[in-house]
Homo-oligomer: A and B are copies of this chain.
Amino acid sequence: MQDFSFYNPTRIEFGAGKIAQLSELVPAAARVLVLLGGDSARRSGTLDEVLAALGEREVQLFNGIEPNPSFETLMQAVAQVREQQLDYLLAVGGGSVIDGTKFVAAAALYEGDAWDILLKSGQNVTAALPFGCVLTLPATGSEMNKGSVITRKSLAAKLPFMSEHLYPVFSILDPVKTYTLPPRQIANGVVDAFMHVMEQYLTYPANAPVQDRFAEGLLQTLIEIGPKALAEPEDYQTRASLMWTATLALNGLIGAGVPQDWATHMLGHELTALHGLDHAQTLAIILPEMLRQRKATKLGKLVQYAERVWGITTGSEDEKAEAAIERTRDFFESVGVKTRLGDYGLGAEHIDAIIDSLQSHGMTQLGEHGDVTPELCRNILLASL
């Protein structure tokens, strides 16, 4: 096990009807900005529930945080916070709304050009407005971590940042709120959570048996419940497990004390920024070849993954690794997320621009060994056509 620091003060309120607890979770004197994505929270009645629970508090709304939340949009919310002297944020939505809210929380108190927060990966964040979350879409884990990813359309850039000031004060997880989500968003959520675990698990053996067992438990659970979460949208227990699994997949716990990869995510961000693919789609495309082309350095963990997660007990180490990679691809496909660039209309002619963009963002030494070069990424994309 490597040395680590672990700290996660976010309070989780989990269960049906928990939105009513906003009346106690948000300070009585708070001047609240409720941040929303599209109009699903309004249509589903969730917004009404939220407003009822907030009662007599001063509440304003900010609508229209898009998937892959943009700097341009979020700066409008920052202006609203400053002009209206609001002092508490409440994200109502999925990972994009929560990521966006984290940026607003930091940028509202940041002096200078707020884009610098992205350029410094959040190391220059010294304070943030307090904020809570009402999660409606299980996927990103943003509801219980300190990270966020923001896109600047004008620069075609999608960049992460993090800060200890950006843990939600609380997050309300009500599985019922996921019943009305489109299947595509549930499928993306399953893949997203799966990939968050893989980035922290599938590196090299590091004498961390508990972290390995926890990661494997999350993966096994996603494999068990993923298809059922799609087939039976109103099965409370399945949606509850999906929601909690997605949160635990990226709350810092399974990554404490172990090496981490994240090359698939970084390359995927470029695909989203340039071509607008859903985040989970980019991960499903890239992961299989990312694992295959790095099989030499990942073999120990690939075999463990094959045996423990997929129950593959026969064959050589290489055969086990190959079988596990194919089972992973099949799993993504089984929940309806396609795994080839061609499935999204992208061909070899697009790859140069993706690699150029990766390089321009300084992403030249990715992965747990820093050996994932732009050239390797090019080969991975070529093999993923």
**Could you say how many copies of this chain the assembly holds?**
2
Interface residue count on the A side (C-beta < 8 Å): 40
Which residues of B are found within 8 Å of A13, using beta-carbon distances? 5
Task: Write out, one digit per residue, whether chain A residues 1-26 have a CB within 8 A of any chain B CB (1) or not (0).
Answer: 11111111111111110100000000
The closest CB in chain B to the CB of A238 belongs to: B207
Can you list the 9 inter-chain pairs with the closest CB atoms, starting with the nearest?
Answer: A213-B217, A3-B15, A9-B9, A207-B237, A7-B11, A6-B12, A1-B240, A209-B221, A4-B14
Contacts of A244 in B (CB 8 A): 1, 210, 257
Closest CB in chain B relative to A15 CB, distance in Å: 3
Q: Is A220 an interface residue (CB 8 A)?
A: yes
A210 CA / B11 CA spacing, docked (Å): 19
Partner pick for A207 among B1, B11, B216, B240, CB 8 A cutoff = B240
Let me know if B11 and A209 touch, CB within 8 A: no
A218 within 8 A of B: yes
Give bound CA distance, A224 to B114, whole Å: 50
Contact across chains for B241 and A209 when beta carbons are under 8 A apart = yes
Q: Which of A5, A16, A18, A253 has the most CB of B within 10 A?
A: A5
19 chain-A/chain-B pairs, Cβ below 8 angstroms = A3-B14, A3-B16, A3-B18, A4-B14, A4-B15, A7-B10, A7-B11, A8-B8, A14-B256, A14-B257, A207-B240, A207-B241, A209-B221, A209-B241, A210-B221, A210-B244, A213-B220, A240-B257, A253-B253
Contact with B along A234-251 (1 / 0, CB 8 A): 000100110011001000
A259 to B11 CA separation, bound complex (whole angstroms) = 20
User: Is A331's beta carbon under 8 Å from chain B?
Assistant: no
Pick the contact of A225 from B7, B209, B212 — CB < 8 Å? B209
**CA gap between A210 and B208 in the complex, in Å:** 19
Partner of A11, one of B5, B10, B218, B257: B5
Kindly state the separation between the CA atoms of A3 and B175 in the bound complex, as whole angstroms.
10
Is A12 touching B5 in the complex (CB atoms < 8 A)?
yes
> Contact between A241 and B1 (Cβ–Cβ < 8 Å)?
yes
Q: Which residues of chain A (87-134) have a CB below 8 Å from chain B?
A: none
